[in-house]
Structure 1
Amino acid sequence: MRIARLLALCFVAALAQPAVAADLRLGYIDQDLRPFLIGDGPEIPARPGVTIELAQRAAAKVGARLQLTRMPLPRLIEEVRAGRQDGVLSLRYSADRTADLVFPLRAGRPDPDRHVARLSYSFYKRRDNSVAWDGTRLTGLQGPVAVGGSPLISKRVKSLGAQIVRSDTGTQMFGMLAMYRVDAVVTLDAMADRLLPVQGYSQIEKLSPPLVVEEFYVPVSKAFYAANRELAERFWQALGDLRDATYAELTPSYLF
């Protein structure tokens, strides 16, 4: 009788112990893409960016111990393939990447409800010039276009026949536009739509449709998914559940 009671007490005590947190090793690119990712190089700053803070909150919600590393994307993909990283924090979906990675899917396609970030880039111009964009053709340019964001955005603008000027900040780009040094700007909507009213540039307007709209996900390796399927699915769901409120709360503090 005493043995049975002792076993029962041990069982209850075991249940009362907190579960051991699972490790989730995610890497992300070592390039500044504010407000989503902050800073260049391998260091992770104290204020790492909205996307990183979202991932931290999602990991805490599902009881995962998040380990973050920054490195160039080609090396990161190799690290995931080799099993030294579990996944990539913020990556575009492409069919060829599914050979090594598992993305959050719905009906065989990337699940738009479980992306970690949506980046929309648009053209902005002065109201007094004739620059026009119909989603296919860019017309009316007399001067260069200031471009922020990844090299892929610059490549896309160049493909439209524009001369580009690289710029790191929205303040600089819109200052160049207001001073007639460039004819248009291409940058993140999230940044521009908050910055323009603060800067008072009423002579600048956004053109529709966006030049590029991209959704980014947190794919994991096939080996990690096979061993931790429930954790991966819960983490992806937590990203979707927390994303909009987290971005609304944190984005303004990262833009100015």
Structure 2
Amino acid sequence: MRGLGLKQIGLLLAALAAQTATATATLDMVYGAVASDPYMSGEGDQMPPHPGAVVEMAQAAAKGCRIALKLSRLPGKRLLTEMQHDQHDAAFMFSHNKEREAYFNYPMQGDEPDPRYRLTTLAYSLYALKNAPPAWNGKNLPALGAIGVNAGWSIADDLRAKGAKVETAKDTEMNFRKLKARHIAAYATQNHIGDRYLEDHPQAGIVRLQPPLSRKDYYLVFGKRWHRDNPALARCLWQQIGTLRESLLPTLLRQPWYRQP
């Protein structure tokens, strides 16, 4: 550092410290405690050896941005509440709605999330008893009777907005139990979850109804405070996700431990 004054040395040291801090930044990221194979595997707060294709995408994105990742799992309602109060930095997988936009930051393009940076796109459908399916034509939700939904899922608000009667339960297994007991007329869930259940329970007498309810993009989201303080890191992670969705995700979904129905 010969020839540098004290002021210049101080500025250089500050710049080096900032680079080190960026390289070793830790991101507190949370995701749901309910399995959503092949994207999020395992139940409860445990992470299995193959934690899910989207979990691995998040890990790879953090590595690409030189961020140390602290991952944990929470029940859906608790996750939403704690993210709303900035108790964690980031979360996945979340579709977009205006209520969530009030306390999450999405990769926006104008007034809508930018689909280039989505984690993936998933379809929702209704599942019903094979011997007594409601007459579903794609529009007559209010006439179907009670529809089961996992607690905290945004599809519940979508269904209510269309006039449907909605009953929530804590997870997929409980909703299918309610369906088999005829406590609900149908269960609305993501196709890959519902189809996996049908594959694992071929004697359950349940079918997926056509047409699908909807298709939704899902995103990695950031807490308002963390995003405000770390805009460059957030941008790096979203860009990594956009790249990995095309390069890494198809490879992960072909792995035998992430088999799809």
Deviations 1:43-83 (A, max 9, x none): 33234333322211221222221112334124422442xxx
Q: Is the contact made by 2:123 and 2:191 (CA closer than 8 Å) also made in structure 1?
A: yes
User: What SS does the corresponding residue of 1:133 show, helix, strand or coil?
Assistant: coil
Counterpart in the other structure of 1:7: none
Q: Is the contact made by 1:120 and 1:214 (CA closer than 8 Å) also made in structure 2?
A: yes
Looking at structure 1, the residues matched to 215 and 256 of structure 2 have their Cα atoms a distance apart, in angstroms, of: 18
Aligned: 1:20 with 2:23: yes
Looking at structure 2, the residues matched to 221 and 87 of structure 1 have their Cα atoms a distance apart, in angstroms, of: 6
Looking at structure 1, the residues matched to 101 and 134 of structure 2 have their Cα atoms a distance apart, in angstroms, of: 40
Looking at structure 2, the residues matched to 219 and 91 of structure 1 have their Cα atoms a distance apart, in angstroms, of: 7
Q: Is the contact made by 1:124 and 1:207 (CA closer than 8 Å) also made in structure 2?
A: yes
Counterpart in the other structure of 1:235: 237
Counterpart in the other structure of 1:77: 83
* Structure 1 segment 59-138 matched on structure 2, within 5 A: 59-71=62-74, 72-80=78-86, 84-125=87-128, 131-138=134-141
How far off its partner does 1:228 sit?
A: 2.6
Compared CA separation, residues 234 and 184, structure 1 to 2 (3 A): same
Q: What RMSD in Å do the two structures reach over aligned CA positions?
A: 4.5
| TM-score, normalised with respect to structure 1 | 0.65
User: What SS does the corresponding residue of 1:218 show, helix, strand or coil?
Assistant: strand
Looking at structure 2, the residues matched to 78 and 184 of structure 1 have their Cα atoms a distance apart, in angstroms, of: 31
How far off its partner does 1:137 sit?
A: 0.9
User: What SS does the corresponding residue of 1:187 show, helix, strand or coil?
Assistant: strand
Unaligned runs of 5+ in 1: 5-13
Counterpart in the other structure of 2:43: 39
Q: Is the contact made by 2:52 and 2:258 (CA closer than 8 Å) also made in structure 1?
A: no
Looking at structure 1, the residues matched to 234 and 102 of structure 2 have their Cα atoms a distance apart, in angstroms, of: 18
Larger Rg: 1
Deviations 1:78-130 (A, max 9, x none): 442xxx53223333323344444421012331012222344432124566656
Looking at structure 2, the residues matched to 251 and 136 of structure 1 have their Cα atoms a distance apart, in angstroms, of: 37
| TM-score, normalised with respect to structure 2 | 0.64
Could you tell me which of 141, 160, 183 is aligned with 2:164?
160
Could you tell me which of 177, 187, 208 is aligned with 1:206?
208
Counterpart in the other structure of 2:55: 52
Compared CA separation, residues 129 and 139, structure 1 to 2 (3 A): farther
Looking at structure 2, the residues matched to 34 and 95 of structure 1 have their Cα atoms a distance apart, in angstroms, of: 24
Compared CA separation, residues 135 and 114, structure 1 to 2 (3 A): same
Deviations 1:179-222 (A, max 9, x none): 99987554321134456567667x86533332243333222234
Looking at structure 2, the residues matched to 27 and 167 of structure 1 have their Cα atoms a distance apart, in angstroms, of: 18
How far off its partner does 1:135 sit?
A: 2.3
Counterpart in the other structure of 1:10: none
Q: Is the contact made by 1:33 and 1:149 (CA closer than 8 Å) also made in structure 2?
A: no
How many residue pairs match? The answer is 233
Aligned: 1:245 with 2:247: no
Q: Is the contact made by 2:123 and 2:215 (CA closer than 8 Å) also made in structure 1?
A: yes
Looking at structure 2, the residues matched to 85 and 134 of structure 1 have their Cα atoms a distance apart, in angstroms, of: 41
Compared CA separation, residues 112 and 250, structure 1 to 2 (3 A): farther
Compared CA separation, residues 159 and 236, structure 1 to 2 (3 A): same
Counterpart in the other structure of 1:190: 192
